[in-house]
Homo-oligomer: A and B are copies of this chain.
Amino acid sequence: METNYGLTIEGLMKHRSIRKFTNQQIAGEHRAAILAAAQHASSSSNMQAFSVIRITDKGLRETLMAITGNQSYVLESPEFWVWCADLYRYTLAAGQGTADAGLDGANAEWYTIGAVDTALAAQNAAVAAESLGLGIVYIGGIRNDIRRVGELLKLPQLVVPLFGMCIGYPDQDPVVRPRLSPEAVMHENEYSSEAYHSHIAEYDERHRAYMRERSGGKLESSWSEQMTAKQSQSGRQIGGYLKNQGFRLDD
């Protein structure tokens, strides 16, 4: 982007996931500022339907790392936070003392509120952290065994671990990954997929160039190839756990 829109947008445009961190710890006041920024994100009817579990126990980090398919930064990052959709606290407040009543209402709408509230807060945390010179990476891999993660973190009904987040000072400087052209993502008044084939083909070429640069010429997979490879992997199944946690998603 050539125009100068200010430091905030400049920061957003420079995001890349960081998977290698220095040993430097994050100051307590910075940690507090990151959490405060997260809490100030928009929230559906102010339900604040999320919780963060900060993982400081090394043994627990090792177990979580194994669940994510041995992503070493889950163990090594100065901070590892598990972001959870949380309708339990809301239900406690709404029920004036008991959470049981909440189970009646816990349908797909509630799960959506929890997932969206949690992600809005987490993204504010990511933006705040990066503005402090920190790097982050989201860890969807905790959903590889979501039931086990829920047990380890002693999550009650109506709480679901959605993703982890490693935070720390970057010890690498990866290239920013290019994205689909804006025309492939924004529609006007109605959804239109007419130009998708050409948008995807154009992005595939930019993605190849990015992969070549990132790998020093060794890799050059297109976006389509990566998406095809991803789809052929055995997928995660979290529906049973969501039901176990009290969500009736057919409603």
Contact = CB atoms under 8 A, between A and B. Distances in A.
Interface in A82-119: 84, 88-97, 101-102, 105, 107-110, 112-113, 115-116, 118-119
Contact of A128 (B8, B32, B54, B92): B8
Contacts of A54: 186-189
Given A116-B163, A239-B248, A193 B39 contact: no
B159 A191 contact: yes
Indicate how many identical chains form the complex: 2
A231 interface: yes
A132 B6 contact: yes
A20 interface: no
A235 interface: yes
A191 to B, nearest CB: 5
Given A191-B153, A231-B95, A249-B249, A179 B224 contact: no
A251 B237 contact: yes
Interface residues of A, number: 121
Contacts of A197: 92, 97
Contacts of A217: none
A177 B41 CA distance: 11
A187 B223 contact: no
Interface of A: 1, 3, 5-9, 11-15, 17, 29-30, 32-33, 35-37, 39-42, 44-48, 50-57, 60, 84, 88-97, 101-102, 105, 107-110, 112-113, 115-116, 118-120, 122-124, 126-128, 131-132, 136-138, 140, 143, 152-156, 159, 162-163, 176-177, 179-180, 182, 184-193, 196-197, 200, 223-224, 226-228, 230-231, 235-240, 242-243, 248-251
